[in-house]
Structure 1
């Protein structure tokens, strides 16, 4: 039971960024068609499956105990790195923005994915957004495979939850104004990843 509880929280932690993105889109009235939502889901699922396949291959060369430690450490590192990116002061000047990784910029300012400023996310823009949302998913998938989670099940659950969170976020964003309470939710995914990593190592 604890094994599947850990899987549940891992899926939530990896997919929760999509909820914040969805809220931002909802509040700014940026439309995300079902085709774009499906593209986002496919991106997350494929990247997680690829990462877990790599992790499974690597784990076959090391002992289960070492694989478990490495997997947990990866989750902790991802959580700390995400936490650092949230806490560190945001640079306002243009030179810093130009040097920023574009996929990371999409997550911090989601409307940047709407390249043509049409107010609607097209299929190729959804591919960009899906890749941005899957950045954390790759590392988490690598760690999850070393912890013994099934690649196909994990990839499917993350793909499904990514789409569901974006969809629900959009609906909530339409009726909610921007509040400090919503901003605090950005701390939840990294803290979940850190907790999961520690739990699996211990």
Structure 2
């Protein structure tokens, strides 16, 4: 093969690896966006766990390709979808509990009667309830979400097992791109949170996760 042919194949290989990394890692963007909207801090360990697990799951999938090639791509997609939907439902449940707590705190301190105006005031200005709902992602939460984000990586690894793509390079790129998209989503969420009218809409992340789960199931 001449130099031109080798150059063409190399460029083609790079493009395929970039597209693969983008496709597998883009869900991480929505993860970062979702938790940033809820003012939940994403620490460095979370980035590391997600990057490591997506990379390792890709390698695992690559190794298992010949064994369960006709089953795991579908099963992995279903598992990832279920996990995303469960996370979304948990966020919606937490949001409802937060609104209930805010209402109790507000009525106890102000002695106001239940009406739509007072409910909207609490939703519009959460600080009126004097409750701090900010926090951080725990190790268990990081592992749980990283598992969901790794399902696509696992399925992709199985597919790559039947190609000549360098799987170690692909796994490294996927791990790095997962961390990149997580950071990008986190920064996007911080910008959105600077808009005052977005604050009462903290239930939206739950909807986003459920949407991702359904989309992942039917795509």
TM-score normalised by L of structure 1: 0.61
- Given the superposition, is the C-alpha separation of residues 169 and 154 from structure 1 closer, same or farther in structure 2, using an over 3 Å criterion? same
Aligned to 2:14: 4
- Contact conserved, 1:53 with 1:151, CA < 8 A, in 2? no
Point out where structure 2 has 5 or more consecutive residues left out of the alignment. Answer: 1-10, 95-132, 202-207
- Given the superposition, is the C-alpha separation of residues 156 and 110 from structure 1 closer, same or farther in structure 2, using an over 3 Å criterion? farther
Q: Report matched runs for 1:1-202 at 5 Å.
A: 1-55=11-65, 58=66, 101=82, 103-105=83-85, 108=88, 111=91, 119-176=135-192
- Given the superposition, is the C-alpha separation of residues 159 and 109 from structure 1 closer, same or farther in structure 2, using an over 3 Å criterion? farther
Please state how far the C-alpha of 1:146 moved relative to its aligned partner: 1.2
- Contact conserved, 1:40 with 1:163, CA < 8 A, in 2? yes
- Given the superposition, is the C-alpha separation of residues 166 and 124 from structure 1 closer, same or farther in structure 2, using an over 3 Å criterion? same
SS across alignment from 1:146: coil
- Contact conserved, 1:25 with 1:110, CA < 8 A, in 2? no
- Given the superposition, is the C-alpha separation of residues 135 and 151 from structure 1 closer, same or farther in structure 2, using an over 3 Å criterion? same
- Given the superposition, is the C-alpha separation of residues 162 and 137 from structure 1 closer, same or farther in structure 2, using an over 3 Å criterion? same
Please state how far the C-alpha of 1:118 moved relative to its aligned partner: 6.5
Output one character per residue of 1:88-130: Cα deviation in whole Å (capped at 9) or x when no partner: xxxxxxxxxxxxx3x2325656858x9xx87211122111111
TM-score normalised by L of structure 2: 0.56
- RMSD of aligned Cα (Å): 3.6
Please state how far the C-alpha of 1:54 moved relative to its aligned partner: 2.0
- Contact conserved, 1:106 with 1:132, CA < 8 A, in 2? no
Point out where structure 1 has 5 or more consecutive residues left out of the alignment. Answer: 60-69, 86-100, 195-202
SS across alignment from 2:23: helix
Q: Which has the larger radius of gyration?
A: 2
Count of aligned pairs: 149
Alpha-carbon distance in structure 2 between the residues aligned to 1:118 and 1:176 = 16
